[in-house]
Structure 1
Amino acid sequence: MLVEYMKSKPQLISGKFLSSFTYKDAENEWQLIADSLNCMLGGQKDWKGWRKAWQDFYSRTKVKLAKNRKEAQATSGGVPHLSTMTDVEEDILDIIKKILVEGHNVPETVTGFTFTTVSANSQHTQNELPLEAAQCPNEAVVVVQEDKTSNTPSTATKGNNKPKKQMPKKSQTLYNSATAAMDFKEHLKHKNKVKEEYYKKKIALLEEGVRLKAKNVKILGSIAKSLRRRHL
């Protein structure tokens, strides 16, 4: 319930105070949330208690998100072991995406490849050409090696010049990690889109329930006053 209320309170989430939204305004907002939650859930927390509960939820979710990002970008090889988000944490993750960054919740880390320069020998064959290093952040790196059995052009044969292609282990690991991270983000994007419409309707129903309860309390109070007057 608390998380659902916070989805419509971006200024409370940011924790920043302006001339248009002061600390007193934030305190009043938290007081309204506390009154509603205590009424619906039978809780006894004051507004500071509910604020602390939200801060704990928010902090734990950000820690888990950071661990998942680190795991997805690891270069140890294999499939990343990502921690599963609970429903509450996924709701908070959706809030983080909307409040902290437009479009994506976290910036992508730019991965660069460093190439060392190898000095050429004083003698070259007609098949030896200089190689230029290039960065390919979105593609696998392929290294082409020439198999040579002789240093002189006169003894080199066509059969010995066949290129061999192989993918470095580190490049394969980076590729697998990037693919897993993209799949994870697409999964969250799809799930959050489905939940967004659901929670919009649910919040509307909860607010209507609070209004009806307040109305019932008022009606019961009027009935009680009428009964007391009759007995006087």
Structure 2
Amino acid sequence: MWLSISETLNSLGEGATKDWKGWSNYWVDYKAKLKRKVAALRTSQNRTGGGPADVNPLSDVEKKFLSLLGEGFGSGLPNTQVGPFPILTPPTTHVGPDDGQPQPPQPQNDQE
């Protein structure tokens, strides 16, 4: 898909010429930048005190990209929290029958 997209964009003859990986990276970077701008606009609109927004409004191109990405892009999931640190469970070990030293878990045999 990215090969087709890069051929189309490069054939326009305007602006940059990139390989498929370059256009893919550009899209990832553009989405991240757009997400930050949408979040800044939302924060500016939700603050108290009124007054003009301190962030430039979205351009027509940004609005078009936002419509492609979907209505909820950049807004996060409501009532969802992610812990700052994952809970890591240490692997369990078994004590060997002969020497008392910990042994790695053994695969279960269905015939036992």
CA–CA distance in 2 between the matches of 1:40 and 1:84? Answer: 28
SS at match of 1:36: helix
User: Runs ≥4 in structure 1, deviation > 3 angstroms?
Assistant: 104-107
**Consecutive unaligned residues in structure 2, runs of 5 or more:** 79-112
The Cα offsets for residues 10-37 of structure 1, whole Å up to 9 and x where unpaired, read as xxxxxxxxxxxxxxxxxxx000111122
Tell whether the 8 Å contact from 1:30 to 1:47 is kept in structure 2 after alignment: yes
CA–CA distance in 2 between the matches of 1:66 and 1:78? Answer: 18
The Cα offsets for residues 82-116 of structure 1, whole Å up to 9 and x where unpaired, read as 42112221112212324xx4xx8747x8xxxxxxx
Percentage of pairs with the same residue: 32
TM-score for the superposition, normalised by structure 2 = 0.55
- Which structure has the larger Rg over C-alpha atoms? 1
Q: Is 1:74 equivalent to 2:37 in the alignment?
A: no
Corresponding residue pairs, total = 77
Q: Aligned to 1:91, which of 56, 59, 64? A: 64
The Cα offsets for residues 156-175 of structure 1, whole Å up to 9 and x where unpaired, read as xxxxxxxxxxxxxxxxxxxx
The structure-2 alpha-carbon separation of the partners of 1:95 and 1:59, relative to structure 1 and needing over 3 Å to count, comes to same
Tell whether the 8 Å contact from 1:97 to 1:105 is kept in structure 2 after alignment: no
Instruction: Give the alignment's Cα RMSD to 1 decimal.
Output: 2.9
Superposed, which structure 2 residues align to 1:71-220 within 5 Å? 71-75=44-48, 77-81=49-53, 82-98=55-71, 101=72, 106=75
The Cα offsets for residues 169-199 of structure 1, whole Å up to 9 and x where unpaired, read as xxxxxxxxxxxxxxxxxxxxxxxxxxxxxxx
TM-score for the superposition, normalised by structure 1 = 0.29
The higher-RCO structure (CA 8 Å, 6+ apart) is: 1
**Consecutive unaligned residues in structure 1, runs of 5 or more:** 1-28, 110-232
User: Greater helix percent: which structure?
Assistant: 1
